[in-house]
Structure 1
């Protein structure tokens, strides 16, 4: 994650907040047939504060969406699979002063399963998804950002990680603890960043 000033195009503007798709490498070589190799694919989201005030973001509920070149979504299950459920920590909240931006970098992997190519992604909340199947050709990716709550409450551990939940879901027993913290005025909204092309070879 980085902080800096920025002046970018190809973004979605939501009341002065710019959301942009980041794809460092747009030509990916797929695993060979019969291979058990996993090919990493990096992507991310750049958020820029073009408002006159500080803005605070929760960088937790973020995931990709893939489409074929004609705009048809690549199939994925409606819900994620969870082996464990994770919650936001203090480090997942980031404040941006006017003119600053941050980049949240993520990655997943292309792999072969029954002679088909699938993409696997594990989100911060512990949910995993598979998209498929893929073949050689041009595809589109966008990033989905979401936060539904303006106030989050929780406790902060000695390592500064902590555990947070929306204010209305936070147990009352936590509010009397000395390590209790409330994070207010978190940016609320749902955004789909612009589509960016990439190629599978």
Structure 2
């Protein structure tokens, strides 16, 4: 698997440390409808590479400050926003799950403190090694202002799960093209706290000269193709989320009683050339409740599936391809209703503790691979498929209701 090559275009080096945004050239967020609870999300992957001869420490307290530049070349002013609790729907996680999670974290801390004197939230990056952080972003309306919030830390593996979460917020944005990069602040730097305190009064380009900084990537805010449409179009490629039935009945609270959920994506090639797409673990669902809060999402793998040529269909000019991942609603013990959506690679996404009410769901097409190795069942050989369309595109949300 290859991402973009390391070169002068996509990273800066400070004291042998590289910071790279692991994104394709096309990243687009659908602008949500201007109403309460509407939100569009994206995950950004940041890679730190240690190209020095000595190891250095990283921490979950390390901070990634985003710099956003508009099409006029103006660096936009952002502000730090602190949430006492992560604004996902924590009520969707059962009390038993919470206690299990806390107990597991406590056990991990005790074990690591016996082995290593440093905090469990810290780790070492050895020479030639890499570390990946996952930063999330969300786009929503507030008081008729379009707001983009980007997380400044990696929350995904933080053992201090319930501490405040920090985001960098950009207010009053407009549809169009932007450029985005991140500046890395290491907790173990002697000037860490002083520089963060002064971040709002210091120009980001000046700060970037003394810190590992990713190069800019293109970042687009895209309007749906028409008002209240479930499709967006980027560079002649149209992405539309499909949900024929908008009202679904929750299944009975009996074992093996399941309700099929028709949920899919349609990709149309409006360019003059054939384009190949990937449906191998590239369609990522995001579920939002009526209160605008993201539902807890888990990814599980029950086995390994080989990549087949059928996972990478070729779409001719003017034609489209639809993909409906196998999706089920069912009841699970502890009085939880579950939505499970197959990922296409042998794994699946799980949304827990659903109940009757209104929800919004969106898909993100997320493919960073231009080349894939596929397996032929008849010949039992493998070969390469090239020219796969790369990009991260979020569809608009579609609203549906669960009834009892």
Common fold by TM > 0.5: yes
What's the counterpart of residue 190 of structure 1?
Answer: 392
CA contact (8 A) 2:340 2:349 kept: yes
Determine if the alignment matches structure 1 residue 153 to structure 2 residue 355. no
Task: Give 1:41 deviation, angstroms.
Answer: 0.9
Aligned residue among 91, 97, 107 for 2:326: 107
> Any gaps of 5 or more consecutive residues in structure 1?
1-6, 163-178
Q: Give the superposed CA RMSD.
A: 2.1
The structure with the larger Rg is 2
Task: Give the TM-score normalised by structure 2.
Answer: 0.40
What's the counterpart of residue 66 of structure 1?
Answer: 287
Per-residue CA shift, 1:61-98, capped at 9, x if unaligned? Answer: 22322111233111113xx2222122320111111111
**How do 1:20-39 residues align onto structure 2 when only pairs under 5 Å count?**
20-32=240-252, 34-36=253-255, 37-39=257-259
SS of 2:313 mapped into structure 1: strand
- The structure whose RCO (Cα within 8 Å, separation 6+) is larger is 1
What's the counterpart of residue 199 of structure 1?
Answer: 401
Task: Give the TM-score normalised by structure 1.
Answer: 0.78
SS of 1:91 mapped into structure 2: helix
The whole-number CA distance in structure 1 between the counterparts of 2:278 and 2:341 is 19
Per-residue CA shift, 1:100-151, capped at 9, x if unaligned? Answer: 1111012322222211212122321111232021111111111122211111
Determine if the alignment matches structure 1 residue 49 to structure 2 residue 273. no
Q: Structure 1 residues 40-49 or 52-61, which shifts more?
A: 52-61
The whole-number CA distance in structure 2 between the counterparts of 1:25 and 1:154 is 34
Q: Report how many aligned residue pairs link the two structures.
A: 174
Residues 12/56 of structure 1: CA separation in 2 closer, same or farther (3 Å cut): same
Query: Which runs of at least 4 in structure 1 moved beyond 6 Å after TM superposition?
Result: none
Structure with greater strand percent = 1
**How do 1:76-115 residues align onto structure 2 when only pairs under 5 Å count?**
76-77=297-298, 80-113=299-332, 114-115=334-335
SS of 2:267 mapped into structure 1: strand
The whole-number CA distance in structure 2 between the counterparts of 1:30 and 1:56 is 37
Per-residue CA shift, 1:2-59, capped at 9, x if unaligned? Answer: xxxxx99531212110100000111101123x33321111100000011121111112
